[in-house]
Amino acid sequence: MAEGNPHTLSAKFQQSACPADLPIYDSGISPQGLKIPLDKVIATAAPYADVFTYGDTDHHNMNVRGEMRKPENLAALKQSGFTDIGFETSKGLQAWNNAYVDGGLGRDEFKTQIAPALMAATGNEKGEWTKQILDTAEFAKANEMNLHFADPNNGRLACDAAMSAEECDIAETKARYQDTQLSADHAARLAEPAADNQQRKIFQIYGSAHYSVDNGSREGIGGRMVKMDVYASRADYESDKTILKEENDRGVMVGEIKPELVYLLDSGTLHTTCATPPALAADLEQAAAQSPPAFKNEPSTKKLEVSSLSR
């Protein structure tokens, strides 16, 4: 980030709504949250986004991304005009999804092809992530939506022999969040009309650290993004700030760009942040007043460790 550059996203946030002295690892969330079900949040925020990012804050806890496996939340994507769904899963698996969509593979055959590559995925010890991908692929196919295995696997070649282990880890982490290729892929998708000639709209489930660093990645999409970081609980949000501070202290500026929204699953509570557009905040307040949610408290399994960054 160029020092003093007024065109960076973080500079724009500071000039408009986010205080210049707000710590990078704090989102400046509203103290009073809104009780609103997730599907209503998606429907209300959809008109404000060409790309909606569901920020998975803990890959170790499958309940976080697994919330988007629920039928009502998947249905909200179709009903809200989303044409594309993206997963933080290797682009190398895309061909198997394409074969499934085209009828060359059945669901069981599709699973057989992708399961080995997903076995080591964080949080997939019981195969829940594989099941979510299969369920979402089936939903997307039935509703004529596009499913993308979107992860370009950036950050793998950021080290060289002259670096120390710590320098190598920092370089790889920074490179991992340099989402230039992911943004370019999304920009290309947005530039093409959907099958029925409607404007494309992308919903992606991705680690929350992505698009939180002021490195130009978010601007590369060329469209409007709404990013919602999703936590199992308020306690997890507070502990995450500790983890992010540790990352910031070692030079990885995660959390520099604030999410527009923060959602707490255990209480069904949505918080706006200093980056939330005022019109979106007003619409969400109205939607919450019209549809108070039912929710079930569940214990958090978040681990307070840097490696739990979903990232």
Q: What is the DSSP string of 192-243?
A: S--TTSPPP-EEEEEETTTT-S-SSTTGGG-S-EEEEEEES-HHHHHHHHHH
Nearest to 223 by CA among 89, 83, 92, 90: 83
Cβ contact 209:254 at 8 Å: yes
Q: How many CB atoms lie within 10 A of CB 177?
A: 21
What pLDDT score was predicted for residue 304? 34
Residues 236 and 227: their CA atoms lie apart, in Å, by 18
> What pLDDT was estimated at residue 300?
42
Q: Are 261 and 240 in contact (CB under 8 A)?
A: no
Sign of the alpha-carbon dihedral angle for 210, 216, 219, 222: negative
How confident is the model at residue 193, as a pLDDT? 86
Taking phi over 0 as left and psi of -120 to 50 as alpha, with beta for the rest, 251 belongs to left
3-state DSSP call for residue 172? Answer: helix
Site of tokens 């920009």: 187
* Strand-by-strand arrangement of the 146-151 sheet: 34-35, 269-272, 261-264, 225-231, 51-56, 202-207, 84-90, 146-151
User: For 93-144, how does the pLDDT look when each residue is reduced to its tens digit (9 = 90+)?
Assistant: 999 999 999 999 999 999 999 999 999 899 999 999 999 999 999 999 999 9
Tokens of 307: 């490696």
Q: What is the pTM of this model?
A: 0.89
Distance CA 128, CA 249 (A): 34
Structure tokens at 34: 């809104």
Q: How do strand 225-231 and strand 261-264 relate by DSSP bridges? A: parallel
User: Per-residue pLDDT tens for 23-59?
Assistant: 999 999 999 899 999 999 999 999 999 999 999 999 9
CB atoms within 10 A of CB 254: 24
pLDDT tens digit at each of 311 positions of the chain: 334 444 454 444 444 578 888 999 999 999 989 999 999 999 999 999 999 999 999 999 999 999 999 999 999 999 999 999 999 999 999 999 999 999 999 999 999 999 999 998 999 999 999 999 999 999 999 999 999 999 998 766 668 888 899 999 999 999 999 999 999 999 999 999 887 778 999 999 999 999 999 999 999 999 999 999 999 999 999 999 999 999 999 999 999 999 999 999 999 999 999 999 999 999 999 999 997 655 554 444 444 333 334 55
Assigned token pair, 55: 């920020």
Q: Locate tokens 């205080």: which residue?
A: 19
Q: How many CB atoms lie within 10 A of CB 183?
A: 21
